[in-house]
Amino acid sequence: MAKQICRYVERDGKFYARVTYTDSLGNRRQIWRRAQSKSDAKELARKIARELDEFGSEAFEHRQTLNEYLDHWLATANHSVSEKTYNDYESLLRRYVRPALGKKLISKIKPLDLQAVINQLNARGLSARTIRYVHTVLSSALKQGVKWRLLTHNPAQYVELPKIERKEMRAFSPEEARQFLAALPQDKYGLLFELALVTGLRPEEYMALKWSDVDFQQSAVTVNRVLCRKRKGGGWYFKEPKTKKSRRTIPLPLYLTQRLSDQKRTQAEERLKAGPQWQDNSLVFTSERGTPLLLRNLERRHFKPLLRQAKLPDIRLYDLRHSCATLLLAAGENPKVVSERLGHASIVLTLDTYSHVLPSMQKAATEKLEAILSRSQSR
C-alpha cells in the first residue's frame, strides 16, 4: 500500500484525524475520525495508519451490512457447530441483533451501538444470562470478522454486560425425597423420576437411555448419548455427550435394576399391543408408540401433578438432579464422587454450584476434628 499521509484537522473548534492513502485500485481515499483534542487527533491518525498497514484498506472500505455479514458467518458456522447450536445462534441474532443493527455497515458499528442494544434488551426484561448469550454469539461473529480482515477490531469486547444473579438452588430435603419416592407408584413414569433422583442424570441423558446402556449384571447405567429436539419442523436426534466426563457409568441400587428389568418386560408387552405403530428405538423410556418422550409434556402432565398430590414444593424436573447432588453432599459424600456422578467437567463446577451445602459440611468436619482432638487429649 502507498504511504499514508497523517494529519489532524481543526474545523469550527472541532478536531479530526485525517489519513490519506491509496487503495489497491490506485484510488486516492481519506479516512476521517472525530477526536477530543489536538493531541488525540494526532494519536488517532497514527493509530489508523498502523491499522491500514496491518489489516489493509479493505477493513475501512468494506461495504457489507451486518445482516449480509451475519448470513455469511452463519453459513460458515453451520459446518462447525451442532444443529441445536446453529439454531440458537440464528434465533438470537434474528430476534435481538438484526432489527437494531442489521442494516448498518459492519465497518461502521461502534461499541456504543452494541451497548445500546444490550441496554435495550435489559430494559425489555430479558435475563442477564440471555443477554450475555446474545453478546457471546455476536462477539464471536465480529471476532471472526477481524480474522477475515474485514474489521480492525471487535467492538463487542468493549461492552458492559449485566451481572448474572444466581438463583437460589431448589432441591428436596431428605424427608421430601422420601415423600416423593412414596408417591411414584401412582404415575406411569414413576420409575423414570426415581432413576433421575437416584442417578442425578440430566433429562436429555435419561431420555436417551437405551436398553443396551443398562448393565443388569453389574447393576449400572452408562451415558452414551443425549436426546436433542429440532427447533424447526419438529423431530429429534441423538448426539454425543458434551464432554468426556459426561460419558460415564453410574452404579444402581439392586432394587432399581430389578424395576428396570420389570419395565423391559412391560415395554415388550406394549410393543406387541401397538403392532406396526410401534417405533423401535430401543429406548428405556418411551411414549405409547416407542418414540422419545417430550420433556415439556412429561413435566406438565406427570411430574407437576405428582408434586401437587404429594403436597411437595413446586420444583422443576431438572431439580431432581440438584436434589441428588445436594442429598449426597449433605450426607458427607466426597465432592469428587458427586462431581463424577453428575458428569461435571471439573470438581470446581460442582463446588461452585452447590456451595450452599458446604457450610453444613464444614460444621460436620469441625465436629469430627474436635472429636479426634478430644480423644487425643484424654490419653
Out of 117, 132, 158, a domain closes at: 158
* 74 & 101 share domain: yes
Q: What percent of the chain is predicted at pLDDT more than 70?
A: 88
CB–CB of 288/270 below 8 Å? yes
* 104 & 205 share domain: no
In a domain, 330, yes or no: no
* 77 & 146 share domain: yes
* 154 & 206 share domain: no
Q: Which amino acid is at 60?
A: F
What letter does residue 188 receive in the DSSP assignment?
T
* 140 & 184 share domain: no
Number of C-beta neighbours around residue 227 at 10 A: 20
* 56 & 89 share domain: no
In a domain, 336, yes or no: no
* 309 & 232 share domain: yes
Please report, in angstroms and rounded to a whole number, the separation of the first and last CA atoms in the chain: 87
In a domain, 184, yes or no: yes
- Identify the domain containing residue 49 by its residue range: 5-61
Out of 264, 297, 317, a domain closes at: 317
pTM of the model: 0.67
In a domain, 326, yes or no: no
Partners of residue 19 on adjacent β-strands:
6, 31
* 185 & 203 share domain: yes
pLDDT tens string 313-324 = 999 999 999 999
In a domain, 328, yes or no: no
How much is the mean pLDDT over the chain? 87
* Exposed / middle / buried, residue 366 (Cβ in 10 Å: 0-12, 13-18, 19+): exposed
* 53 & 86 share domain: no
Predicted pLDDT of residue 52: 74
* 178 & 295 share domain: yes
CATH number of the domain within which 241 lies: 1.10.443.10
* 137 & 41 share domain: no
In a domain, 167, yes or no: no
In a domain, 196, yes or no: yes
Q: How many domains does the chain have?
A: 3
CA dist 341 and 25 (Å) reads 62
Rounded average pLDDT over 361-370: 68
| The three grid cell numbers given for residue 185, joined into one nine-digit string | 407408584
The alpha carbon torsion through 258, 261, 265, 267 (nearest 10 deg) reads 110
| Gyration radius of the chain's alpha carbons | 29
Most confident of 2-11, 38-47, 62-71, 113-122: 113-122
Select from 181, 219, 189 the least CA-distant residue to 286.
189
In a domain, 219, yes or no: yes
* 117 & 247 share domain: no
pLDDT tens string 324-354 = 999 998 888 889 999 999 999 888 888 888 8
Residue 128 CA neighbour count, 13 Å, CB half: 8
